Structure 1
């Protein structure tokens, strides 16, 4: 460590808060949002899956995940494996002391934990696609394998000095690493797991607690400020802009979905407004550090229109059972946001010499965003297919029909969420 570098207490305080905010996105955010959307007999299974992810992924991340993403020994040595992982030099946080500093002049230990929260929420997003029909044991094995073999390589490629970062792909806070990665995996899992036994095309099952859905959305919205505004690792103007455009895009997206819902279904629904808000949060994520309020407005306007079409038209047409629309919202929202970043990025935010999008004359950046998006889609789809097959062979994925009919809470966990 360079002894001339002094810890920045302001940045450190902000990043501690941002880390806590990102944790809120999984527990209780995703737990309540997804838990409210499923039927009463399966709400505890969602909560347990979220708890499992937080605990298991944290251990993986601290043991070797952080080193594989942000380590440097393989890359610096010129090893061909540096393409896949960063290195082994920080396994078990080797060499990281209380005095070690990272970018932003914050303790590296804080950066480790901040990035850990991203590793946690990504597989949590996937579970919405196959909710109400997957074994807890199968979910555990798949989550562990997916975190190691899908999330970690993708995070290294985009944030740890890998080839997508070197290519110039913009992903400020997780459009490719988190949302496309999770959303495409969600689609593959939904198709391979098969439909729920009582699922009827074009007839969504009624959420058991819409109040939970709203509370989950509120926690996600709040936590997303840490997710996006914290990703610059500084308490500065970029963080302030990320905070602003995140909120603006979310508000526009919520109103847009509500309006479409009102026109299409004759009533503005709470679930629709909440889903729209989440689509806006997803789409602004890769762009938050490079777009201004004009970009945020149009990202918030365009994304829910496409996501609504995917959920209301494409899903029934192709007859796949994406239980809680993890692909329709996170996958599609991530794809749209990643590509629109290449349109609306502006040097007004990124600074002189910074990135700019097609709207401001740099069509090359748009092509880079498209290429990064396609690579993310293909990698996630292929790896998820392989991991599904492995998990299904070893412990099984789908619960028995009787368990599915009676509910996962009682059969898988021996508990009921509500007294009768």
Structure 2
């Protein structure tokens, strides 16, 4: 067993876990003051629920072994409760439980991302039901489509589910998704769009009405997300080697460029560069580089960041044009940014991209992967959300929304300025 790589994976897992509290601060600062606890609790609720479900059966669905690599839905009965991964084989590079822990943090943050689309108006209990069902029916299987690996019957190493390994058998190249552009960002963004449609628009929804109550929280959250993202991207190599170093550098370059591009577009469009724009631009660049961080030269990572920052800055206004209320721009940043990063690889992936010595095959498989996940996640999320809305109710009453849902849902206030006792 390689103790260095084991330590690397465990540290990366801890960094990724930190991203969920970071997301809570990022989202919490963007909502109104009377909804900050509700918003942050949806991230912490996802952390608790998905952490438990992952151990019980999530890992068994996401990583059913080689026999499940070419199928859209499979489960390894022996991995339920992690019973068959407790021991470390003598020839293993790292303990299987280290990988289990690393992938658990991916599941948690993906579910938490969705919550930003329904800020200020969702019931916590309904959100928790949605989170558990969506993770079971959507995230765990989609993670298998992208990340699942195991040994084939002939003893050869088979990596990836049908999106990566299966498409390679058909097109000669598999879809590239180094750290989760499809499984995490497109997946969460599509579900966010579905829930925004199910819950409908906030009271008084229009441009400029809902403003962030705490920009310092947003900047703090963005900083924690960026810090954790090094574990997200570099850690996905599962070894402390040159590819991990490349992913690390690209995780600096792309979001830095995206931050600058967002601020420039914001200055041209609105007259002023804002702190919210800086934070949002960095996150957009992080989203876009996630699938591509191990497959791009750093100069092309900068170009990707510039494109993602500019396009996502414009994309967040689509909700006003099209009339859907994605409260915290999960669609404009994660869905759009994930699509940009995933499709960009079809042109600039090292060795296989259309402009990097390859042909159109890489672009074709990137598009198949992106839109397969988008459609699957959107349809299932819409159905799950609609059923919850029609049964237990997903959205709070309008009067509770206007008053702020922290006291109604959680019996707490984010800011207490006087002591009534």
Structure 1 length as normaliser, TM-score?
0.92
Counterpart in 2 of 1:16? Answer: 10
Residue 135 in structure 1 maps to residue 123 in structure 2? yes
1:100 and 1:62, CA in 2 relative to 1: closer, same or farther beyond 3 A? farther
2:68 corresponds, among 69, 75, 79, to 75
1:350 counterpart residue number = none
Asked whether the 8 Å contact 1:101–1:108 carries over to 2, the reply is no
CA contact (8 A) 2:64 2:144 kept: no
In structure 2, what is the Cα distance between the partners aligned to 1:102 and 1:114?
Answer: 20
- Which of 200, 203, 226 aligns to 1:197? It is 203
How much has 1:198 moved relative to structure 2?
2.4
Is 1:278 the equivalent of 2:286? no
Deviation at 1:294, TM superposition (A): 2.1
Is 2:354 aligned against 1:358?
A: yes
1:304 partnered with 2:297: no
Residue of structure 1 in register with 2:164 after alignment: 165
Is 1:222 the equivalent of 2:215? Answer: no
1:17-416 to structure 2, matched below 5 A, reads 17-27=11-21, 29-72=22-65, 75=68, 82-100=71-89, 105-160=93-148, 161-166=160-165, 167=167, 168-200=174-206, 202-312=207-317, 314-347=318-351, 356-362=352-358, 363-416=360-413
Matches of 2:89 and 2:194, distance apart in 1: 40
Which runs of 5 or more residues in structure 1 are unaligned? 1-6, 348-355
Q: Relative to 1, partners in 2 of residues 1:402 and 1:85: Cα closer, same or farther, differing over 3 Å?
A: same
* Contact 2:257–2:309 (8 Å) recurs in 1: no
**What is the Cα deviation at residue 102 of structure 1?**
9.3
Query: How many residues in Structure 1 have an aligned counterpart in Structure 2?
Result: 398
CA-based RMSD: 1.5
Q: How far apart in 1 are the matches of 2:230 and 2:164?
A: 23
Measure how far apart 1:308 and its partner are. 1.4
In 1, Cα distance between equivalents of 2:42 and 2:68:
35
Cα displacement (A) at 1:87: 2.2
Measure how far apart 1:183 and its partner are.
0.4
For residues 398-418 of structure 1, what are the alpha-carbon distances to aligned partners after superposition, in whole Å with 9 as ceiling and x for unaligned? 101121111111000000011
Distance 2:14 2:205 in 1: 37
The CA distance in 2 between the partners of 1:193 and 1:275, in whole Å, is: 24
Q: 1:394: Cα distance to partner?
A: 2.9
Q: In the aligned structure 2, how far is the partner of 1:204 from the partner of 1:300?
A: 29
Secondary structure at the residue paired with 1:383? helix
Equivalent-residue separation in structure 2 for 1:83 and 1:380 (angstroms) = 13
**1:344: how far off?**
1.2
Q: State the Cα distance separating 1:72 from its structure 2 match.
A: 2.5
Residue matched to 2:151 = none
TM-fit CA distance, 1:83: 3.4
Q: Deviations over 1:301-341 (max 9, x none)?
A: 111221112113x2221121110000000010000100001
Q: Is the 8 A contact 1:248 1:300 kept in 2?
A: yes
Q: Does the 8 A contact of 2:59 with 2:79 survive in 1?
A: yes
Distance in structure 2 (CA, Å) of the matches to 1:88 and 1:357: 38
Q: How many Å apart are 1:255 and its aligned residue?
A: 0.5
